[in-house]
Amino acid sequence: MSNTTTSPAVNLFNTNLKTKEPGTKKTDKKVINAPSLEDKVRRFADLKAQIDEATAQLKMIEGDIKAEGRLQFLSEYTRERKTPDNFKLMDNTGASCLFIVMDKYTAVDETKADILRQYDGLLTETRTFKFNADLVDKYGNILSELIMNCQGIADEDKGQLISGEIAYSVSKGSIDKLLIQSGTPSEIFELINPIVSLKK
């Protein structure tokens, strides 16, 4: 009669989960002198600075237009009690641009996911699992057996064999649910933060 005790089953797919974070880029680069370029690098930098300045002004104006578009969208949404079609915004000069609200949303971090979870149907959670390549190479000949019951894999490696990520996103169709949530339409709109665009 053996005196072996069975440890409680551990689900490897619920361990080692990390929230996916944006990566960082290395910026240190070697400098190589290129005299054949004459003044082209300086001219490039000058033109880029002019473009950057114009782009900054464009972004500020675009931000103002989008803010007004959001207000008008919410006003139409509340009045019509449904998601309005795309519409044109016109300024005092008669110039207009198309304001588009898409059923696409900005990235969601874990803090925002906790808030979205309070509203029915606004959060989608996607889990991605992958095998640790080094450990798959190390234990490839025995992976056909059940991992947790396999005597050939060290217990401390079993928990590390499978890693995963959780990615949160605003659920498709959330833009149509501004009125059926417990918050005000403007609160829900800000929370789900749909991507908006302008077209001439």
Q: What is the dihedral of CA 65, 67, 85, 125, to 10 degrees?
A: 130
pLDDT above 70 coverage of the chain, percent: 82
Question: Is the whole model's pTM more than 0.85, yes or no?
Answer: no
Q: What's the chain's Rg over C-alpha atoms?
A: 27
Look-up of token digits 């991507």: 195
Q: How far is CA 169 from CA 89, 119, 163, in A?
A: 29, 13, 20
Number of helices (H) and strands (E) in the chain: give both, helices first: 5, 6
From 169, 168, 176, select the one nearest 102 (Cα to Cα).
176
Per-residue pLDDT tens over the stretch 73-97: 999 999 999 999 999 999 999 999 9
pLDDT confidence bin for 140, thresholds 50/70/90: low
